[in-house]
Structures are given as C-alpha cells and as structure tokens.
Amino acid sequence: MYPGMKARIERELLAMRPFQSSFQVRLASNPVLDAWYGARDWALDHLDDDSVWVTRKEYEEKGGEYLKEHSASNIYVPIHLPKQASRSTEAQASGKGSGASGGGAGEQA
C-alpha cells in the first residue's frame, strides 16, 4: 500500500526496541481491510459477552467518556524501560572487573 513502509517500520522498531530483543514485521495480506476483518472476527467471537458491548442506552446515559473506562476500550498504559548501558560503559566495566581479579591473583603468587 505504501512503498517502503515495511522497511521504515523495521528501522524505527530496531532503533527503539530493548537491546537484543527480536521482532518480525509482516505485511498484511489486504492492508485496506485487514483491520476491519480483525474487528469483525473479534465481534463475532464475543456476541454473547455483554461485558464487552456498550448499549445505546449506556452511551446516552454515560456519554462518550465512558468508553475510556469500559472494559473493551483501548487503554494506553505507558511503560518506561530502563536505559540500557552504552557499549563503551559495558566494556569499561568488564575491563575493570578483569583487572581487579588479575591483581588479586598476582598478590597470591
């Protein structure tokens, strides 16, 4: 649908992902309708589950803001990942560790 979209998403995910985590980007078979098909399938799977639906009466009584707290809403929960140490910091730390153990071994001999 959009030329270069897969490469762009891969590049941006690679830049923001946690160190050495893996991911795979797949193109939708029908990018125009796949989201609709997914929503349709979800709706068909939950026809008898009243907890995931908002009736017209509920909407009129509680308003659109109610959708933010409803169990079927898309709640955004930000996560804060700890900053990864840079490779130069890791190299310095590993170098200090080997130097300290080497000095201890020399004193024992």
Any idea where the domains of the chain sit in the sequence? 1-45, 48-76
Q: What is the mean pLDDT, run by run of 10 residues, along the chain of 109 residues?
A: 87 85 87 91 92 88 81 71 67 56 45
pLDDT at 100: 47
pTM: 0.44
pLDDT at 63: 86
Question: What is the distance between the alpha carbons of residues 108 and 19, in angstroms, rounded to a whole number?
Answer: 39
- Let me know: does 17 contact 23? Beta carbons within 8 Å: yes
Question: What is the distance between the alpha carbons of residues 76 and 92, in angstroms, rounded to a whole number?
Answer: 38
Query: Residue 39 belongs to what H/E stretch?
Result: helix 34-45
pLDDT at 96: 56
